[in-house]
């Protein structure tokens, strides 16, 4: 009857009762939550301006009730010209409205008598946008956030610091957004590139997210992916290196020095300002792709290891992450990190740090053991949840059919990521994200037993109609599930990245640093 994405838990059509018909006289009851977006949708789609009034005989009623158990759940009851959305919280009402939009669109405003009962599968339904490689405008970020809310996603993981650019204003370290926000050129262009968010803009985005029941987790990626910060403050690195903001993609060998107290001071100062800006009590501290090349040679890092009895540079990273974690814990915050660098083990790594498990394929056993021993884990596996990867690698079908559960316990949720080194424009981002986000959100929201790839494919036509209203430049089904040939070509095109990365540069730099260290 209705093709709603994500598929609700239960839809019961009630025969023998009259339904609802959207007309010029339809009203919607007054509630504190933001329903402008819903009213704009109705205006855009039906050219009807919903009036906000008390109940009348043809209306949409929003009702609070403790009878709905899940904080994010809702019930929709439609009969006798009235649609009632019932929820315990504003969030539940908001999700009910997202469902109602799709129904109105599909039925030209005429909804039969029915009842829908719905609640999410996972508490954490995340999406990450990389603003480090390219810095989207506030308007673009808000557009993505709104689209994510339509898919009932509720965590915005905002990747704000990168080798290629520092994107968040930190008042105590002004160079970060003077020098650190600008790279002299980019992978495929010879033009310079810059951009950052002021603290006022960050607050505006956070409020926009909160109005849509989305929590915001900022990422301050340390100790790796910090070349833009080191370019501003060379003392942050081992050997006080003079570097430029990175121009090319790839893993850099210069990272924050874990052996100097001045590094911790910088990190804690930045975190102090981030905690002021991001009140949702979780901060992502990166931890990915931190090459230990410099730490092995650095007298400061080595001295700290000796003093603390730390057996290897990998364990030194665990010490570093845990020390930062404890700083956050003292202020009532939880830390989150990528699980990337923990393959060498978790000695000294605090158990209360959440893991964004992106490298699951490589170390399923470790992640599973960690889950068993009590670590909180979000499945953000590169395959299939990195949506910067081509459809040929992470096809719509793969995304849909992927089971995110991990042996050993329950995961907190799932997260999809959009890395942007090769996704500079909004249209490219749209093409990468949609309809994969639709497949992803069914895993995040719908009950596993209600999932059906055939039903999902059948829903896509109407889903595309829905996206058209928001001017989304989605991939077609053929593009999202490419043929073998098309998929091979895509992989080759995507693979050209390796000609643009840091490899050679790293070799030269390594030689330089070895010379300094030998002196």
Binding site for Zn ion (CB under 5 A): 238, 257, 259, 298, 300-301
Q: How many angstroms separate the first and last alpha carbons of the chain?
A: 76
Cβ 227 to Zn ion shortest distance, Å: 15
Minimum CB separation of residue 314 from Zn ion in Å reads 14
Q: Rg of the Cα trace of the chain?
A: 24
Cα–Cα–Cα angle for 391, 395, 401, nearest 5°?
160
In a 3-state reduction of DSSP, which class is residue 261? helix
Which residues, in sequence order, are CB contacts of 512 under 8 Å at separation 6+? none
- The 296-335 contact track toward ligand ACM, x by CB under 6 A, reads ----------------------------------------
111 contact choice in Zn ion, ligand ACM, none (CB below 5 to 8 Å, kind-dependent): none
The answer, yes or no, to whether the previous bond of 6 is cis (omega within 30 of 0) is: yes
CB of 501 within 8 A of CB of 250?
yes
Which partner from the list ligand ACM, Zn ion, none does 104 bind, CB cut-off 5 to 8 Å by kind?
Answer: none
224 binding partner (options ligand ACM, Zn ion, none; Cβ < 5 to 8 Å by kind): none
Provide the CA 313 distance to its chain's centre, in angstroms.
29
Residue nearer to Zn ion on the CB measure, 227 or 238 = 238
Contact of residue 358 among Zn ion, ligand ACM, none (CB under 5-8 Å per partner type): ligand ACM
Is 341 a binder of ligand ACM (CB under 6 A)?
Answer: no
Query: Residue 288 CB, nearest distance to ligand ACM (Å)?
Result: 4
Is 253:294 a contact under the CB 8 Å cutoff? yes
Q: Which is nearer to ligand ACM, 8 or 165 (CB)?
A: 165
Of 256, 275, 274, 255, give the one whose Cα is nearest residue 264: 256
- Please state the closest distance from residue 481 (CB atom) to Zn ion, in A: 47
- Residue 457 beta carbon to Zn ion: minimum distance, rounded to whole angstroms: 53
Nearer Cβ to ligand ACM (359/459): 359
Among 84, 118, 219, 288, binds ligand ACM (CB under 6 A): 288
Binding residues for ligand ACM restricted to 354-393, rule: CB under 6 A: 358
Q: Locate tokens 């999406």: which residue?
A: 127
Question: Could you tell which of Zn ion, ligand ACM, none binds residue 257, using a CB distance below 5 to 8 A set by kind?
Answer: Zn ion
The b/e string for 367-390 (b: 16+ C-beta within 10 A; e otherwise) is bbebbeeebbbbbbbbebbbbbbb
Q: Which residues bind ligand ACM (CB under 6 A)?
A: 288-289, 338, 340, 358
């Amino acid at each position: 009857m209705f093709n709603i994405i994500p598929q609700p838990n239960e839809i019961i059509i009630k025969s023998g009762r009259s339904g609802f018909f959207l007309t010029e006289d339809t009203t919607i009851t007054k509630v504190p939550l933001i329903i402008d977006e819903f009213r704009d949708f109705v205006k855009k789609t039906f050219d009807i301006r919903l009036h906000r009034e008390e109940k009348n005989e043809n209306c949409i009623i929003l009702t609070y009730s403790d009878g709905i158990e899940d904080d994010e759940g809702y019930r929709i009851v439609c009969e006798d010209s009235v649609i009632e959305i019932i929820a315990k919280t504003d969030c539940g009402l908001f999700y009910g409205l997202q469902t109602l939009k799709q129904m109105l669109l599909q039925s030209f405003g005429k909804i039969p008598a029915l009842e829908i009962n719905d609640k999410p599968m996972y508490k954490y339904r995340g999406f990450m946008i990389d603003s480090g490689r390219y810095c989207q405008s506030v308007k673009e970020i808000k557009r993505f956030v709104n689209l994510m809310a339509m898919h009932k996603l509720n965590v915005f993981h905002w990747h704000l610091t990168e080798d290629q650019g520092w994107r968040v204003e930190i008042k105590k370290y002004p160079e970060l957004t003077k020098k650190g926000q600008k790279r002299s050129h980019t992978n495929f262009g010879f033009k310079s590139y810059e951009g950052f968010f002021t603290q006022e803009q960050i607050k505006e985005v956070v409020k926009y997210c909160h109005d849509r029941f989305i929590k915001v987790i900022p990422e301050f990626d340390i100790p790796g992916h910090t070349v833009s910060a080191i370019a501003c403050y060379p003392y942050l690195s081992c050997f006080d290196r003079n570097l430029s903001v990175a121009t090319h993609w790839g893993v850099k060998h210069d990272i924050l020095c874990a052996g100097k107290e001045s590094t911790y001071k910088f990190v804690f100062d930045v975190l102090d300002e981030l905690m002021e800006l991001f009140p949702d009590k979780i901060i992502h501290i990166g931890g990915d792709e931190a090459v230990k090349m410099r730490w092995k040679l650095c007298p400061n890092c080595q001295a700290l290891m000796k003093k603390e009895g730390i057996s290897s540079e990998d364990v030194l990273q665990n010490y570093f992450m845990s020390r930062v974690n404890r700083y956050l814990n003292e202020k009532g915050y939880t830390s989150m990190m990528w699980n990337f660098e923990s393959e060498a083990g978790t000695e000294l790594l605090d158990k209360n740090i959440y893991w964004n498990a992106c490298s699951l394929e490589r170390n399923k056993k470790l992640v599973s053991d960690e889950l068993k021993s009590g670590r909180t884990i979000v499945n953000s596996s590169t395959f299939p949840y990195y949506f910067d990867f081509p459809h040929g690698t992470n096809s719509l079908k793969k995304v849909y059919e992927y089971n995110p559960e991990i042996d050993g316990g329950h995961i907190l949720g799932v997260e999809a990521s959009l890395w942007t080194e090769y996704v500079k424009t909004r249209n490219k981002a749209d093409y990468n994200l949609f309809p994969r986000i639709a497949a992803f959100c069914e895993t995040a929201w719908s009950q596993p037993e209600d999932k059906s790839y055939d039903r999902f494919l059948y829903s896509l036509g109407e889903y595309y109609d829905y996206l058209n209203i928001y001017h989304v430049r989605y991939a077609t089904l053929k593009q999202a599930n490419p043929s073998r040939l098309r998929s091979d070509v895509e992989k080759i095109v995507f693979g050209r990245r390796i000609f643009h990365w840091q490899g050679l540069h790293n070799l030269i730099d390594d030689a330089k640093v070895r010379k300094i260290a030998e002196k």
